[in-house]
Amino acid sequence: MQRPNEIVTQVQDDELNRIRYEQPMPATPAYPPHSAPRLFVDVELSDGAEIRLDGGHAHYLLKVMRIKQGAPVKLFDDRTGEYLAHVTAVGKRDLILLIDGKTRARENVPDLWLCAAPIKKDRFNWVAEKSTELGIAKMIPVRTVRTQNSQIKTEKLRAHMIEAAEQCERTALPRLEALNELELLLRDWPQDRHLFFADERIHESDEKGEGSFRKALVAHAGPAAILIGPEGGFSDDENAAIRSLPQSVPISLGPRILRADTAAITAISIWMAGRGDWSQ
């Protein structure tokens, strides 16, 4: 016969076993972990290749991420796709990675360009960053009569776009052009590409719905671009020149006048939802 304290111990053991075996087994951690650092490298990658990182990449991995030998790293090259690698050697200012294999091919990016007049530096950097996350294929800064910031530092702007692509897991970088004059942009505009012109002079609240972006998307499929003006908008002459372009499609972004940076992100989002990869 069991003593009372032995009965209590047995009950406790049975309860622990019941809890242990009724609980699902922990899942095997995904590999590579989502927390693995992800970097763009401007060299063509391939399975089994060895790559040395120094400079900014090495500083980020060694000093910021405190990465150790054997740790996984994701790399993409804007040419062939994304790869998984692991660290094989760590130095003071550089490290060596061995590529284990390709995880994804280079993506097909929606054929949308953003043509935007530069605004204040920090806000224009923000536009470049967010438009990259949203999925544009190309960004073209455009100088207009009322453009106040014409000092575009292309390399810094591109750095913001690269960081955004690393974060949002793009495998293809948007192309970035140098500053274009509006007149030349319109003169050389491709015949097969629609130019959705965000015109603050028309509103979706008009009785006939003139300028409705949603309706314009139904009628104008294919390669496209969005043109966003500077703070203060386009001049009368610029507005007339844009409208005279056969590929131009004046659109409204609603009943309120949006800031230039807000207008750019809003227009991209609407296009992506109607014609881009958000609609898939």
The number of folded domains in the chain is: 2
User: Which pLDDT score is estimated for 205?
Assistant: 40
Shared domain check, 237 and 173: yes
112 close to 135: Cβ distance less than 8 angstroms: yes
Residues 164 and 257 in one domain: yes
| Same domain for 140 and 89 | no
- Structural domain of 70: 38-105
Q: Is residue 65 part of a domain?
A: yes
| CATH at 250 | 3.40.1280.10
pLDDT at 111: 96
> What pLDDT score does 7 carry?
43
Of 105, 128, 160, the one marking the end of a domain is 105
Are residues 98 and 206 both part of a single domain? no
3-state secondary structure the chain: CCCHHHHHHHHHHHHHHHHHHHCCCCCCCCCCCCCCCEEECCCCCCCCCEEEECHHHHHHHHHHCCCCCCCEEEEECCCCEEEEEEEEEECCCCEEEEEEEEEEECCCCCCEEEEECCCCHHHHHHHHHHHHHHCCCEEEEEECCCCCCCCCCHHHHHHHHHHHHHHHCCCCCCEECCCEEHHHHHHCCCCCCEEEEECCCCCCCCCCCCCEHHHHHHHCCCCEEEEECCCCCCCHHHHHHHHHCCCEEEEECCCCCCCHHHHHHHHHHHHHHHCCHHHC
> What is the predicted pLDDT for the residue at 11?
43
* Domain termination residue (choose one: 47, 71, 105): 105
Write down the pLDDT at residue 254.
87
CATH code of the domain containing 95: 2.40.240.20
Cα 209 from Cα 205, distance rounded (Å)? 6
- Identify whether residues 85 and 156 lie together within a single domain: no
What residues form DSSP beta bridges with 105? 81
pLDDT tens string, the chain, 280 residues long: the values are 545 454 444 545 555 444 344 444 444 445 556 679 999 999 999 999 999 999 999 999 999 999 999 999 999 999 999 999 999 999 999 999 999 999 999 999 999 999 999 998 899 999 999 999 999 999 999 999 999 887 888 999 999 999 999 999 999 999 999 999 999 999 999 999 999 999 887 754 444 445 789 889 999 999 999 999 998 899 999 999 999 999 999 999 988 889 999 999 999 999 999 998 886 6
Could you give the angle at the alpha carbon of 64 between the alpha carbons of 167 and 39, nearest 5°?
35
The answer to whether position 48 is within a domain reads yes
Identify whether 30 is part of a domain. no
Q: In whole angstroms, give the CA distance from residue 81 to residue 73.
A: 14
201 in the same domain as 86: no
Residues 272 and 237 in one domain: yes
Task: State the pLDDT at residue 14.
Answer: 54
Q: Which of 8, 168, 210, 2 is nearest to 74 (CA)?
A: 168
Domain boundary among 105, 137, 160: 105
Indicate the pTM of the whole model.
0.83
